[in-house]
Chains A and B, each alone.
Chain A
């Protein structure tokens, strides 16, 4: 084993790994550029990049702020206590601000900043009144308003209070002032409202941590207070917390299990270290190259990718089992073909994944492939150079295990084929799939309930259904939005139980604004003179009021979105598209049913430049498409591999593919019988089952008569079961499905291997003495 060539390669590999370590250290100096947002795993929607942008834009309002509802008997004191704790977080990187007192909203009085535009914005009722009788009918209400104790009349700027009437038709907020606090009265209860603005990403771990600690401390100090939370930051924090918790319970348990098992078989701590070395080297290699290629890393990539590198444990175990039992008779050359074939087959499966359009899958595939190559190189180049004191107990154990697990009969190709056909029929008949968005939702039920309750109390919609409207320029878009709104108004009057938010409600077209200004001029002629005379106001007033009209400027979308009220509608505006036109959304809320969906779809289809988008359905479709994509690519990879294996193994090829394919079929059949639907994540689990199953199949055929190979297969399936099967107990849906698949699949691989072992005469290698 002391080829000068192989020694030089071993040193070269060390240099490569050291270079990786240095590069990684440089890249990590500014912190880990890690994403935790699950939707980042989804592909950029090729057909509808605009819908993608709309989704992001509509979600934005909830991403960089959060809302708390507090219910307590001693409301004023409790709210103040909570606000003081939160205001302590108003530092860079934590909170940008907190609104909780009634005055926090009083700064935004529209009368202060609507001045220039007010005469161009009229409600339909006012328009109609002026068109009918020049506005004579508006005099009496204006007079009443001037003398009401609850009004703040401003006869020069707005004698008819046109702005107040217009504001009243704008989408209002149920949040109001009471007891000096922002208040929401709903469900017969009175809640204090606290709105926080984040100074940083909701995925920032220090920010999540600070917010979580503050709220937990508050709840411990006020156990009777009811606190409802809404905002992406809480969901992101819950996801991160749950991941940490499961790593420390499920992760720790499986690690202890693996250590005990390996310790029992090899009776040497050295083997444990040698077991970890390829995994660590592989992870280092993978982490560096993936970060280098992609620039960022998704946390889920790290989790799944690190799991997939677990396949590398096969290489170590086969090598070490062989060495432990063969002692000085060990030759790497004899194992090399099976090890290489194992690596190629797994890497091919991942390369198939890298061809899918899902950025998360690509990252994951790259990570796993780099990791496997790194681990494989370490095993082949380094491990044979380390001393291994073969413990006779290992050889005895292998021998006893070999005898104990000899099946009385073996599976014949005909029986295997019939079983496979039956199972395929069963899957085709019963297997369902599920691509719902909930799979991507790791939030605990309590947080989801809290979020849903807040949304309901606020009578707010998260913008999951909308019309996407585009047109050549801003005026054409406003006109198109206006026509859509008119059609929606008609449908609502006709019984459609929905409500909508549209920019055209606020910003009329320039032509309409011009007409409105002309209407106000009419109103400011005789009707204003009448009003002034009846109220006993100075006769100079009408002249001054008319001067203000001349100074009025048109309202543009850009100007409106900059105002305190308009900033809440920024999410509706998509601006200029890559195609050169402009786009906006009309967000819908209210009843959800197939009938409503159909009416809205029809409404969109009969109009140019209008598309109806159901975001939940769209992401579901996307997930389904991905699942089918992944399945298709993996099936293709499997077919190619089968051809390659058939070329090498000829008539024994079925024995190689029986463990991986058989286990896959068993998993699918169990799912079919138990009613577990197929989704993207148990499909990812199947990849792992395929990889480990294929390694087992190859070694089973290549080294058919060797107890060491069977011991290695047993150890590798058991350790992988401990590492991934235990994820079935995770509360995160994605991890749960991955784990469940591994649990059933890996157990099936292990059970199938002895049954398809070639009879002794059939062995590929020459018989060796053990």
Chain B
């Protein structure tokens, strides 16, 4: 936690009760108010070893508690569907071993399922409903060898940015935009 955020949280404590009431539970409720949504994404994967970036973009569709469909449009076309149980791809490619764990984590992050994440990460929330940041730091050393930290940013009803950092210096950066709510039966 940076000193700035620490100071900010201290200040928040001094504010009137109504203003400091925004916590992880509220955030989860806010996110859950939108059961399904669709939008566009831009993904940047920075590889420290090569000092270069793999950029991709496309559209996504998210049904809370069920699945997220990741439709890659450039530089390759691919449809990837993540559910709590499995990863399936439109091309029929086999999912990498351990992929379902990655899929599960990805879904939990999109949903803001803090209860599930709590067992592996220490979670801190800063900001307010209109502009919030969630910081996740792995509790166990074994997981810290793979993930240094995860940062989520968002405002109001949507998650807008996801960043994952590894100890090797690699970074995965996903920006979600043009998000809109879908009808419940969509």
Interface residues of A (CB under 8 A from B): 76, 101-103, 106-107, 109-110, 140-141, 143-153, 155-156, 161, 164-165, 167-168, 172, 176-180, 185, 534-538, 541
Contact = CB atoms under 8 A, between A and B. Distances in A.
A80 B140 CA distance: 16
Given A176-B100, A179-B116, A536-B75, A149 B70 contact: yes
B54 A144 contact: no
B44 to A, nearest CB: 11
Given A106-B143, A155-B47, A148 B89 contact: yes
B138 to A, nearest CB: 9
B99 A153 contact: no
Contact of A164 (B82, B85, B96, B142): B96
Contacts of A167: 97
Contacts of A149: 43, 70, 80, 82, 102, 106, 172, 174
Given A103-B143, A143-B75, A150 B56 contact: no
B9 interface: no
A535 B99 CA distance: 22
A16 to B, nearest CB: 64
B95 interface: yes
Nearest to A180: B119
B72 A150 contact: no
A425 to B, nearest CB: 67
Contact of B93 (A107, A141, A153, A536): A141
B76 interface: yes
A150 B52 contact: no
A76 B119 contact: yes
Contacts of B85: 185
Contacts of B97: 110, 164, 167-168, 172
Contact of B78 (A103, A147, A179, A537): A147
B99 to A, nearest CB: 5
Contacts of A76: 119
Given A103-B143, A107-B142, A141-B93, A146 B78 contact: no
Given A103-B143, A536-B55, A538-B52, A150 B99 contact: yes
B87 A144 contact: no
21 contacts: A76-B119, A106-B143, A107-B142, A110-B97, A145-B93, A146-B54, A150-B82, A150-B87, A150-B95, A150-B102, A153-B45, A153-B54, A164-B96, A168-B96, A172-B97, A177-B101, A535-B54, A535-B75, A536-B52, A536-B54, A538-B52
B52 A178 contact: no
A541 B80 contact: no
Nearest to B74: A147
B56 A537 contact: no
B39 to A, nearest CB: 14
Contacts of B43: 147, 149
Contacts of B75: 143, 147, 534-536
B104 interface: yes
A478 B119 CA distance: 45
B50 A156 contact: yes
Given A147-B45, A151-B102, A180-B116, 5 more contacts: A76-B119, A144-B89, A149-B172, A176-B100, A535-B75
A101 B172 CA distance: 26
Contact of B47 (A107, A140, A153, A534): A153
B143 A165 contact: no
Interface in B128-162: 140, 142-143, 146
B174 A537 contact: no
Nearest to B98: A109
Interface in B76-116: 76, 78, 80, 82, 84-85, 87, 89, 91, 93-104, 106, 116
A140 B76 contact: yes
Contacts of B84: 178
Contacts of B142: 103, 106-107
Interface residues of B, number: 44
A84 to B, nearest CB: 15
Given A103-B142, A537-B50, A144 B96 contact: no
Nearest to A179: B116
A107 B145 CA distance: 10
Contacts of A147: 43, 45, 54, 56, 72, 75-76, 78
A179 B119 contact: yes
Nearest to A104: B142
A544 to B, nearest CB: 9
Interface in B37-55: 43, 45, 47, 49-52, 54-55
Contacts of A145: 93, 96
B120 interface: yes
Nearest to B96: A164
Contacts of B56: 147
B94 A150 contact: no
A103 to B, nearest CB: 5
Given A103-B143, A143-B75, A178-B104, A150 B54 contact: no
Nearest to B141: A103
Contacts of B98: 109
Contacts of B101: 102, 176-177
Contact of B50 (A102, A165, A185, A538): A538
A170 B178 CA distance: 42
Given A161-B96, A536-B54, A148 B78 contact: yes
A168 B49 CA distance: 26
Contact of B91 (A141, A146, A178, A179): A141
Nearest to A80: B119
A537 B75 CA distance: 12
B54 A151 contact: no
A109 B145 CA distance: 11
Kindly list the 10 A-B residue pairs having the minimum CB-CB distance in the complex, ordered from nearest: A180-B119, A147-B56, A164-B96, A150-B102, A144-B78, A103-B142, A167-B97, A143-B76, A150-B99, A141-B93
A143 B56 CA distance: 11
Nearest to B82: A150
A144 B174 CA distance: 17
A222 B27 CA distance: 34
Contacts of B94: 165, 168
B49 A103 contact: no
B123 to A, nearest CB: 14
A164 B102 CA distance: 14
B10 to A, nearest CB: 31
Contacts of B55: 536
Contacts of B52: 536-538
Contacts of A536: 52, 54-55, 75
A140 B90 CA distance: 13
Query: Residue among A102, A147, A168 with the most chain B CB within 10 A?
Result: A147
A76 B119 CA distance: 10
A156 B49 contact: yes
A538 B48 CA distance: 12
A148 B45 CA distance: 10
A153 B103 CA distance: 15
Nearest to A540: B50
A147 B104 CA distance: 18
A110 B84 CA distance: 23
Contacts of B143: 103, 106
Contacts of B140: 101, 103
Contacts of B104: 177-178
Nearest to A176: B100
B99 A151 contact: yes
Contacts of B116: 179-180
Contacts of B172: 149
Contacts of A144: 72, 76, 78, 89, 91, 93
B168 to A, nearest CB: 10
Nearest to A165: B94
B114 to A, nearest CB: 13
A6 to B, nearest CB: 78
B99 A155 contact: no
A180 B87 CA distance: 19
A537 B56 CA distance: 13
B80 A148 contact: yes
